[in-house]
Structure 1
Amino acid sequence: MKHLSGLLFGLLASHVLSVSAQTCDYEHTPVDTPDARYQIDNDGTVTDLNTHLMWQICPAGLSGKDCTNGKATEMNWQQALLYAEEQRGKKLAGYNDWRLPTVKELRTLSNRQCNYPAVNIHAFPNTPSYWYWSISPVISDGAYAWGIASDYGYDSWSNKLNKGLIRLVRTIR
């Protein structure tokens, strides 16, 4: 029985790893977010040299060099806005001007060359494939806001009551 349960655990673990592993099409899809575009700092941030935006490497709730400590914090849009506002009073990596990105800014992280997640995993390791909120509301319907589904990197809108993750940003110009 012990052998059977070990085998079952091994099968389940390998299935989960294969489902969540990033896949990339390097042959047919142009590189959206090459490694050279990012300056990875030792303070939990990464700077996009093209956009002059500094991002938190880990989504809210995760920490550590490879974002393996903790659990990503799911929150609705209102909670995401409040979280970002609370962070403005704290010094994260020495800065207190962190905010939720606009959908346009969030879109710059999408690496459509890869899926699950559609981001540069060298710059943003262990990024959960999930919905990420932006600060951008849907103008035509106040119940919705824009964000990015990081599994394939496409922007869309979602009901503000739904849960999502956040990655804070700041401008460095």
Structure 2
Amino acid sequence: MKIKLMVLASIFSPLALAQQCADVGSVPLSTPEERFVINSDGTVCDTKTDIMWQRCTFGFVYNAETESCDNKEQQLSWQQALTAANNSRLGGHDDWQVPNVKELATIVERSCEDPAINETIFLGNHSGNYWTSTTNVKDISRAWTYQFADGLNDSTSSKTSDAFLRLMRYTFCPAAE
């Protein structure tokens, strides 16, 4: 009996972990696909904010042929995240940065959870914490994180703890065709 339950749990557990979104007719999307221009270099441009984002969570490498993320994502401390942004040359650009709390909020998909992000546009997502560059003013040893399970940013994390990262940069984004 125990083995049968374990087999059933392994078969159905991916279904329980799949992203859940509200019916599009009842809740408008906060990050509709037509707002973004997907580039073949692993970046995506948000025409509403003129922010270019990594398509994949940091550490992954975008595979344009399969439109997927290869390798493995990395969890970094806050200082490592700032250094990674400074060193990134993704898409031939050298001005990548860790988003502040308001910038990261622009890609939260409010109609979805686990993760609360548009999974057609952004790949290699996690429901866990993502770093922002915003330091907690009440405790400078902590920085604000966005938790993509439900899209809330109601917590800060110790800057020495590990979290995921998605880099961004400002640019002019041509309108989607």
TM-score interval, smaller chain: 0.7 to 0.9
Following the alignment from structure 2 to structure 1, what is the Cα–Cα distance between the partners of residues 96 and 105? 18
The one-letter code of the counterpart of 1:140 is: K
Match for residue 170 of structure 1?
A: 169
Following the alignment from structure 2 to structure 1, what is the Cα–Cα distance between the partners of residues 51 and 137? 25
The CA deviation at 1:80 is: 1.1
Match for residue 24 of structure 1?
A: 21
| 2:112 aligned with 1:114 | yes
TM-score of the superposition, structure 1-length normalised? Answer: 0.86
Identity of aligned residues (%): 33
Match for residue 70 of structure 1?
A: 71
Aligned length: 165
Superimposed CA distance per residue, residues 18-60 of structure 1 (whole angstroms, 9 cap, x where no aligned partner): 2331110124432101111111111100000000000010111
| 2:107 aligned with 1:103 | no
* RMSD, matched Cα: 1.9
Unaligned stretches of 5+ in structure 1?
Answer: none
Following the alignment from structure 2 to structure 1, what is the Cα–Cα distance between the partners of residues 79 and 92? 26
2:127 maps to which of 120, 126, 129: 129
Unaligned stretches of 5+ in structure 2?
Answer: 173-177
Match for residue 86 of structure 1?
A: 87
SS in 2 for 1:125: coil
Superimposed CA distance per residue, residues 117-152 of structure 1 (whole angstroms, 9 cap, x where no aligned partner): 101111002311110001110112111101210111
TM-score of the superposition, structure 2-length normalised? Answer: 0.85
The CA deviation at 1:64 is: 2.8
SS in 1 for 2:91: coil
Match for residue 59 of structure 2?
A: 61
SS in 2 for 1:162: coil
The answer to whether the 8 Å contact 1:99/1:169 transfers is yes
